[in-house]
Amino acid sequence: MSSKVDFNKQLKVIQVATVIVCLGLAIAAGVLIKNITYQITVGHLTNNLLASQTTIVFAPATHSLFDLNIRWTVVFILVISAILPLLWLTRLKNDYSVSIGKPLSADRFI
């Protein structure tokens, strides 16, 4: 007495749960994480004009690229994590169902 398992229904349930959890975590992260910003910099060597009277002297320097706000970076990653299963539920449903049976699929690495 073995019953046939409906894998498409199980995939839908798992993906809907993933969307709900990711959106819930995104909302919680947006509310609970403090507004912390880190500066992303690049270190390099530059010519030190004051110290190089007779020879060329290099000194370490940094250049600021941009400021990264941690709260909105985490929220962005969680929203993208919710959009992918939503796409698999709607537009990419057939491709995803077919790729489950294959031993290796590009969709599994996203």
Secondary structure class of 47 (helix, strand, coil): strand
Residue 102, classified by CB atoms within 10 Å of its CB into exposed (0-12), middle (13-18) or buried (19+), is exposed
Q: In the chain, where are the structural domains located? A: 38-68, 69-102
The predicted structure's pLDDT at residue 71: 93
47: phi then psi, degrees, rounded to nearest 5: -75, 130
The predicted structure's pLDDT at residue 110: 58
Report pLDDT digits (tens) over 60-100. Answer: 889 999 999 999 999 999 999 999 888 888 877 777 667 76
| pLDDT > 70 in the chain, percent | 84
Q: Can you give the pTM of this predicted structure?
A: 0.68
